[in-house]
Amino acid sequence: MDLVDIMSEIKEQFIRHLKGTYKHLYDNVQTVSYLHDALPSEDRGTFIESGIECLSGTSEKRGKWGRLESYQAIWSDPRVKSKLRVIEGDPLFGKTRLTLQIAYEWCICAPGSNLEQVEILIHLNLGKLMGITSIYESIKRLLLPSDFNIDINMIKHILNDTPSLVFVLDSYDEYIGSEPTAEPQGDVLAILKEDILTHSEVILATRLPCNQEHFSTPKKTIRLTGFDKFKQNQYIHNDIKNTGLMEIIKESLLENPVIEGFCQVPFVLAIYTRITQENEGEAI
């Protein structure tokens, strides 16, 4: 086997290991503990899509927010065409679940997916880097099995040699700290400044607005808006099979504006419908 074949085999193993890690993360994703315990195991990996909007300009002062049809429009809608997309959202609005959904779709090569042409997708929770400044070291430690014999230089070579490369970086706010003006460090900053891996595309997920000064490429901003009445009804119709129970839940939300407000948070609605089902239709 010549060197080219060896490199190709290592790259194939690298991709297989990434996909195995993402599938495991997707299947075992946990939200807050009480919700994870309340939901049956078959529902814990279910993706609940929030309302989603994009900013047409480079800032709120210069643009306006418009609705996206679904999260898949992140790739296809010309309003958010960019090498750098930033997904903003409040806690429990589904940022982490969305980033894992993107990684999972890449894994399974979903028919018609806009990720079909992406050769390598790197999904990292930046909040777990624990002071690691090398993106290659982070990949080795967090995404690859310990018995996979690959060194940092080989990972670097693979990424540099991959023309279709996407980074999905979750928990950016945890990585930079509580100050929106704080600056990322190490290779994350280098990627955002396009000092390394300049051919890659980046998706950041964060609670805090991002400072454009950290980026060399103008960012496109996307935000998760939770469940409006339309999304609430859509979720209830998809989740509840019993028509009578469905109407009870919808009526209870209409009669209780406070609960309806809380249920704009996707996972709150998920647990509310689950508890109502367990109580055999007796709403909270």
Structure confidence by residue, pLDDT tens digits, 46-72: 566 788 999 986 666 667 899 998 888
Q: Are residues 139 and 269 in the same domain?
A: no
- Residue 34 is predicted with a pLDDT of 38
Q: Are residues 180 and 142 in the same domain?
A: yes
Specify the pairing of strand 84-88 against strand 220-226: parallel
Q: Are residues 130 and 210 in the same domain?
A: yes
Residue 198 structure tokens: 């300049």
Q: Are residues 131 and 241 in the same domain?
A: no
Instruction: Name the CA radius of gyration of the chain, rounded.
Output: 20
Q: Are residues 216 and 128 in the same domain?
A: yes
- Residue 114 is predicted with a pLDDT of 87
Taking alpha carbons only, the member of 262, 253, 270 closest to residue 46 is: 270
Q: 161, 115 in Cβ contact below 8 A?
A: no
216 falls in which pLDDT band (50, 70, 90)?
confident
Whether 36 has a pLDDT exceeding 70, the answer reads no
Q: Tell me, yes or no, if the pTM score tops 0.95.
A: no
Residues found in the chain: 284
Q: What is the dihedral of CA 81, 84, 88, 91, to 10 degrees?
A: 130
Residue 205 main-chain phi, psi, to 5 deg: -115, 130
Q: Are residues 165 and 35 in the same domain?
A: yes
Q: Are residues 156 and 247 in the same domain?
A: no
Specify the pairing of strand 201-206 against strand 84-88: parallel
Task: Provide the residue range defining the domain that includes 263.
Answer: 229-278
Q: How far apart are CA 150 and CA 98, in angstroms?
A: 29
- Residue 228 is predicted with a pLDDT of 85
